[in-house]
């Protein structure tokens, strides 16, 4: 039986060679013998359905081979299912074949199925992706050819590229680097391209976020050995020196170095400055701000971050920038300014618990400096705990942290005898002075 199957598929090769000139012409959809074409289409499909209904477990596929081969060879433009079903059929032949030479012929046949599908039914990028992946799987030694096929597939399909194609494209590129057929710089460029595609799909395909996150994790893991700051800086320094004002290159350098936390490098500083001068944008202003944070020039940092916040249109991006500004203000002990930035965060992202926690922490660290006796040096803790409670109530992601802070600072509330001495009782309203200037509720630690 296996011998007959092989002969049938070898006949397919011969038929394609003989009819090469005919295929180039505008032949009828059902070939020169339309009756036989339709008959064999129906025949192979009946057997294919039986095989499919068994969940591809019975041996009905063996009866598919003959009529399917005739259709593939004689009326290749009749139905696209010839190729969809043929892919499944030939993969079964590859899977069940033990003879290496025959298996190799079947792999060649599978590649022909993809080529002929493109010729008659298009979808070149999509089909090339399938072809490149299968070539890599079934013939790993052909990784260079697989790499070229997948490179073209990704260039054609862009953001519509399927996750597995990105994974195998990167794997084939890795082998190209290891065999010194391409350099690391090209692999980094591929990583950059794939990251953009993955991020696009995570953002725009909410039902498939988990799948795309898995793809991202796979590629990040594969890229890790090539992602050291030393490697990235070495690769991009050469490119930067050649084209220091190339906007596309500057965007790529700043994005990858920022993503891989290589922002301490001179290259990052230089590329960021050049990018902002050449093409000022929200993103470049943000990077300038982060750069000056690294340099501990917080005044310049906040100036650039404010530019970024003004330029960003997405509410979440604005909120992220204002939160970063708030953290800078907190570090500089400019608490009033930092609180204002936290409220800017909440204007764009009302349920951001981190902003409330930061305000609460600023109130807590201000407690002693905002009072001059055993009551007033502790009342700021009431206002701080108010913010932690608010954080817990609006944002479940910070609930555990908020709970710990509530427990921590509640123990610093004034004692019952202290509030009694100042003619207060639990539940009274109290105005916390100093920069805090908020009304809270009297509570005690006991």
User: What was the pLDDT predicted at 167?
Assistant: 96
DSSP, res 56: S
User: What was the pLDDT predicted at 18?
Assistant: 38
Q: Given 3-state DSSP classes, what are the helix, strand and coil percentages for the chain, each rounded to the nearest 5?
A: 75, 0, 25
User: What was the pLDDT predicted at 339?
Assistant: 97
Backbone angles phi, psi at 179, to 5 degrees: -90, 5
Q: What whole-number distance in Å separates Cα of residue 130 and Cα of residue 65?
A: 21
User: What was the pLDDT predicted at 231?
Assistant: 85
Going by their DSSP bridges, the two strands 429-432 and 438-441 should be labelled as: antiparallel
User: What was the pLDDT predicted at 26?
Assistant: 59
Q: What whole-number distance in Å separates Cα of residue 402 and Cα of residue 397?
A: 10
β partners of residue 432 = 438
User: Tokens standing for 352?
Assistant: 């951001």
pLDDT in tens for each of the 446 residues of the chain?
Answer: 444 454 455 444 444 433 444 444 456 888 788 888 899 889 999 889 989 999 999 988 898 889 999 989 889 998 999 999 999 999 999 999 899 999 999 999 999 999 999 999 999 999 999 999 999 999 999 999 999 999 999 999 999 999 999 999 999 999 999 999 998 889 988 998 999 999 999 989 889 999 999 999 999 899 988 888 888 898 889 889 999 999 988 988 888 888 888 888 889 989 988 998 898 889 889 988 988 898 899 999 999 999 999 999 999 999 999 999 999 999 999 999 999 999 999 999 999 999 999 999 999 999 999 999 999 999 999 999 999 999 999 999 999 999 999 999 999 999 999 999 999 999 999 999 999 999 999 999 98
From the CA atom positions of the chain, what is the Rg in Å?
Answer: 33
Alpha helices in 77-183 (DSSP H): 81-96, 100-121, 124-138, 143-157, 163-178
User: What was the pLDDT predicted at 25?
Assistant: 47
| Helix, strand, or coil (residue 182) | coil
Quick check: 288 and 255 in contact, CB under 8 A?
no
User: What was the pLDDT predicted at 24?
Assistant: 43
Nearest in space to 261 (alpha carbons), one of 232, 295, 296: 232
Q: Helix 184-204 to helix 247-259 angle, to the nearest 10 degrees? A: 80
User: What was the pLDDT predicted at 112?
Assistant: 95
User: What was the pLDDT predicted at 34?
Assistant: 87
The HSE-up count of residue 257 (CA atoms within 13 Å, CB side) is 30
| Helix, strand, or coil (residue 431) | strand
Q: What whole-number distance in Å separates Cα of residue 24 and Cα of residue 26?
A: 7
Q: What whole-number distance in Å separates Cα of residue 424 and Cα of residue 263?
A: 53
In the numeric block, the tokens 């207060």 are attached to 424
Nearest in space to 124 (alpha carbons), one of 95, 94, 154: 154
Quick check: 188 and 253 in contact, CB under 8 A?
no
């Amino acid at each position: 039986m296996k011998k007959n199957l092989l002969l049938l598929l070898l006949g397919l090769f011969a038929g394609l060679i003989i009819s090469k000139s005919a295929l180039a012409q505008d032949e009828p959809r059902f070939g020169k013998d339309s009756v036989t074409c339709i008959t064999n289409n129906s025949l192979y499909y009946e057997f294919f359905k039986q095989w499919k209904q068994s969940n591809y477990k019975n041996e009905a596929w063996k009866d598919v081979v003959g009529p399917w081969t005739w259709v593939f060879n004689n009326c290749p433009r009749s139905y696209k299912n010839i190729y969809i079903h043929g892919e499944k059929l030939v993969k079964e032949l590859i899977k069940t074949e033990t003879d290496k030479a025959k298996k190799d012929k079947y792999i060649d046949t599978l590649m022909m199925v993809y080529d002929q599908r493109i010729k008659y039914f298009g979808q070149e990028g999509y089909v090339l992706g399938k072809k490149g992946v299968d070539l890599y799987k079934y013939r790993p030694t052909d990784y260079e050819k697989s790499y070229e096929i997948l490179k073209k597939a990704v260039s054609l399909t862009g953001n519509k590229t399927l996750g597995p194609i990105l994974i195998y494209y990167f794997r084939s590129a890795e082998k190209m680097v290891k065999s010194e057929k391409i350099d690391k710089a090209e692999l980094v460029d591929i990583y950059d391209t794939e990251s953009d595609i993955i991020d696009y799909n995570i953002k725009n395909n909410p039902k498939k976020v988990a799948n795309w996150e898995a793809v991202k994790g796979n590629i990040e893991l594969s890229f890790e050995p090539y992602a050291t700051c030393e490697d990235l800086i070495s690769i991009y320094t050469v490119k930067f020196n050649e084209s220091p004002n190339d906007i596309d290159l500057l965007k790529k350098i700043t994005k990858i170095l920022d993503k891989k936390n290589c922002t301490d490098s001179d290259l990052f500083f230089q590329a960021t400055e050049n990018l902002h001068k050449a093409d000022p944008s929200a993103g470049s202003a943000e990077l300038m701000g982060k750069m000056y944070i690294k340099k501990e020039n917080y005044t310049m940092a906040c100036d650039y971050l404010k530019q970024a916040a003004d330029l960003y249109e997405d509410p979440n991006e604005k909120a992220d920038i204002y939160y970063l500004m708030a953290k800078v203000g907190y570090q500089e002990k400019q608490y009033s300014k930092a609180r204002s930035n936290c409220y800017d965060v909440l204007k764009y992202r009302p349920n951001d618990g981190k902003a409330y926690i930061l305000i609460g922490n600023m109130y807590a660290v201000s407690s002693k400096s905002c009072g001059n006796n055993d009551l007033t040096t502790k009342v700021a803790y009431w206002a701080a705990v108010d913010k932690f409670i608010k954080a817990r109530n609006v944002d479940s992601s910070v609930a555990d942290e908020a709970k710990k802070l509530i427990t921590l600072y509640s123990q610093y509330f004034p004692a019952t005898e202290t509030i009694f001495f100042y003619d207060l009782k639990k539940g009274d309203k109290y105005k916390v002075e100093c920069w805090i200037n908020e009304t809270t509720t009297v509570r005690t630690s006991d």
